Amino acid sequence: MGAISGIRARLCALCVAALLAMPGCTAPVEETTLYADLGGEPVITRFVTEVLEISVADPRIAKDFDNINLVWLRDHIVRQFCELTGGPCRYTGRGMYASHKGLHLATANFNFFVEDLQIAMDHAGVPFPTQNRLLKILAPMYHDIVTR
Amino acid sequence: MGLRTVTATAIRWRAAGLAVIVVAIATAAQAQAPAPAPPPAPSPTPASSVDLFDSGKLLVTSGVSQIEGAAGGGLTPWALITGYETRDAIGANGHYTFVHTGSYTLHSAGASLGLFDRVELSYAREIFDTRKVGGKLGLGNGFTFNEDVFGAKLRVAGDAVYDQDTLMPQTAIGLQYKRNAQGAVIHAIGGKSAEGVDFYGTATKLFLDQSVLLNATVRATRANQLGILGFGGDRNSGYSAEFEGSAAYLLSRKTAIGFEYRTKPNNLRFAAENRWLDVFIAYFPTRNVSLTLAAVDLGDIALQRRQRGVYLSVQAGF
């Protein structure tokens, strides 16, 4: 995480330097982030809210959410997705390993949640290829989240 | 003959070398991966027992049953393991596939077992109906070649789905032991043997940000038309290294389209054998069933030119 922030900071410095070096160039070229393609914070909040609703009603994984404050969880996930997709947020929660190890999640639990997330994104109108771009970022978390 | 033997041997070694390289790259890539997270702290609540038939894999990621019974595309094996089990469970599939070209009909029916998303065991019975061609060849109309294929596949390294932060594919090695029941006819047309073993190495990678899945397989084989016309021949009796490639685009969670290409040996003098290819659409309404429809071009088969037609396959399992 630290290394990534460092790289990002260096890239930003580079961008600024490039802009300053270009006379007559006043506005940077509009760069589309995944955050923007997803529909920004309103849409992310919408499908994160819904995936939690679906999951707590999904008999396959409902018990994974026992004793968890869903509003707190929603806010954390929204901020995390926002940051990971290039949005103007900062995720300050714990790492994925630390936050999941006590749950002893199996591969199936992970996948059933992904499935519920896909349904929630469908309902929020996120196009399938855009959904996959988010899943690409989330998929490697499998190795930290699944500890059983 | 000497040259041919040398060439065959060289090809055999090259195929073996390729398989070793694929595995070596896979192993090296895994060795370079960051150390796994530390073991979880002891917890007062032991993990509850896992469902042995969890059907916990993501939709589509069991693949379909290819024509020889392995999990893959329609024509080629992939590195995915059959069934919807995760690494904690067991899965299984049954399939029936129907291929109808201008002159022939091929039926393939079988079953496969996936163990802990690691090992795959499969069986398929192929029935190749020569229809009217059988009469022309003096075998009688509707003469059928029947073949049993026993397959085993071992997943070696990587994960096609989760390893989205590396280019490392999921890799597997496998073999298919094939036994043809029409030995006498096979010898009469120049085939050397009625049974044979194919060895393959395969790599599968899902590129999620493109919604694309790619697969490459290298197979060492002596089989003539899958083994339907026997193994080895009067033109070439040894193993040759063949390439099989697939590309699929995910249209939705439940639907994929794509194409496949499979090179084949050309061992028999009496009739040339060509590459196979197909364009497919596969539909996975649930984890328990999938349907595949394809247009196939199987090239020339036993003197009948341009065998093009339809491929239909249904798979059911968990």
The residues of B whose Cβ lies within 8 A of any Cβ of A are: 36-37, 40-41, 43, 45, 47-48, 50-51, 54-59, 86-89, 117, 159, 161-165, 208-209, 211, 250-253
Nearest CA in chain B to A139: B162
Q: List pLDDT tens digits, range B50-63.
A: 689 999 999 999 99
Contact of B101 with B110, CB cutoff 8 Å? no
- Whether the per-residue pLDDT at A17 is higher than 90: the answer is no
Using CB atoms within 10 A of its CB, is residue B18 exposed (0-12), middle (13-18) or buried (19+)? middle
Over residues B216-234, mean pLDDT: 98
Q: Determine the pLDDT at residue B253.
A: 96
- Whether the per-residue pLDDT at A25 is higher than 50: the answer is no
Which two structure tokens, joined as six digits, stand for B86? 């995760």
- Whether the per-residue pLDDT at B45 is higher than 80: the answer is no
Nearest CA in chain B to A145: B37
Nearest to B258 by CA among B57, B82, B62, B63: B63
Q: Determine the pLDDT at residue B304.
A: 95
Over residues B149-159, mean pLDDT: 98
Percent over 90 (pLDDT), chain B: 84
Contact A148 B41 (CB under 8 A): no
Q: Determine the pLDDT at residue B46.
A: 40
Per-residue confidence band for B39, with pLDDT thresholds at 50, 70 and 90: very low
Mean pLDDT, all residues of chain A: 86
Domains and CATH numbers, chain A: 33-145 (1.10.490.10)
Strands B119-129, B212-221: pairing is: unpaired
Closest Cα in chain A, distance from residue B300 (Å): 39
Nearest CA in chain A to B47: A104
- Give the helix/strand (H/E) hosting B192: strand B191-193
Q: Determine the pLDDT at residue A29.
A: 55
Over residues B193-201, mean pLDDT: 98
Closest Cα in chain A, distance from residue B75 (Å): 27
Q: Where are the alpha helices (DSSP H) in B151-280?
A: 183-188
- Whether the per-residue pLDDT at B35 is higher than 90: the answer is no
Candidate from B18-32, B109-123, B151-165 with smallest mean pLDDT: B18-32
Per-residue confidence band for B28, with pLDDT thresholds at 50, 70 and 90: very low
Rounded Cα distance between B190 and B235, Å, is 8
Q: Determine the pLDDT at residue B51.
A: 87
Chain B interface disruption, residue of A85, A136, A142, most B CBs within 10 A: A136
Which two structure tokens, joined as six digits, stand for B228? 């339907």
Q: List pLDDT tens digits, range B260-288.
A: 999 999 999 999 999 999 999 999 999 99
- Whether the per-residue pLDDT at B309 is higher than 90: the answer is yes
| Residues in chain B, overall count | 318
Which of A118, A133, A144 has its CB closest to that of B209?
Answer: A133
Q: Determine the pLDDT at residue B25.
A: 39
Per-residue confidence band for B49, with pLDDT thresholds at 50, 70 and 90: low
Over residues B69-96, mean pLDDT: 97
Q: Which of residues 97-136 of A touch B (CB under 8 A)?
A: 97, 101-102, 104, 106-109, 111-112, 114-115, 118, 128-129, 132-133, 135-136
- Whether the per-residue pLDDT at B91 is higher than 80: the answer is yes
A-chain residues near B248 (CB < 8 A): none
Q: List pLDDT tens digits, range A40-93.
A: 999 999 999 999 999 999 999 999 999 999 999 999 999 999 999 999 999 999
Per-residue confidence band for A30, with pLDDT thresholds at 50, 70 and 90: low
Mean pLDDT, all residues of chain B: 89
- Whether the per-residue pLDDT at B202 is higher than 60: the answer is yes
- Whether the per-residue pLDDT at B19 is higher than 60: the answer is no
Nearest CA in chain A to B33: A143
Interface A–B counts its CB contacts (< 8 A) at 79
Per-residue confidence band for B26, with pLDDT thresholds at 50, 70 and 90: very low
Contact of B296 with B281, CB cutoff 8 Å? no
Per-residue confidence band for B218, with pLDDT thresholds at 50, 70 and 90: very high
Q: Which CATH class is domain B2-22+72-317?
A: mainly beta
Which two structure tokens, joined as six digits, stand for B278? 């197909």
Over residues B27-31, mean pLDDT: 42
For residue B305, give the 3-state DSSP assignment.
coil
Q: Determine the pLDDT at residue B23.
A: 42
Which of B40, B87, B209 has its CB closest to that of A101?
Answer: B40
Quick one: CA dihedral B262, B266, B268, B269, positive or negative?
positive
pTM for this one?
Answer: 0.82
Cβ neighbours of residue B28 under 8 Å, at least 6 residues apart? none
Rounded Cα distance between B289 and B60, Å, is 10
- Report helix angle A70-84 to A128-138, nearest 10: 100
Which two structure tokens, joined as six digits, stand for B9? 């041997």
- Whether the per-residue pLDDT at A2 is higher than 50: the answer is no
Rounded Cα distance between A77 and A57, Å, is 18
Which two structure tokens, joined as six digits, stand for B79? 């590195």
- Report helix angle A128-138 to A107-123, nearest 10: 150
Which of B47, B117, B159 has its CB closest to that of A148?
Answer: B47
Q: Determine the pLDDT at residue B92.
A: 97
- Give the helix/strand (H/E) hosting B229: none
Percent over 70 (pLDDT), chain A: 79
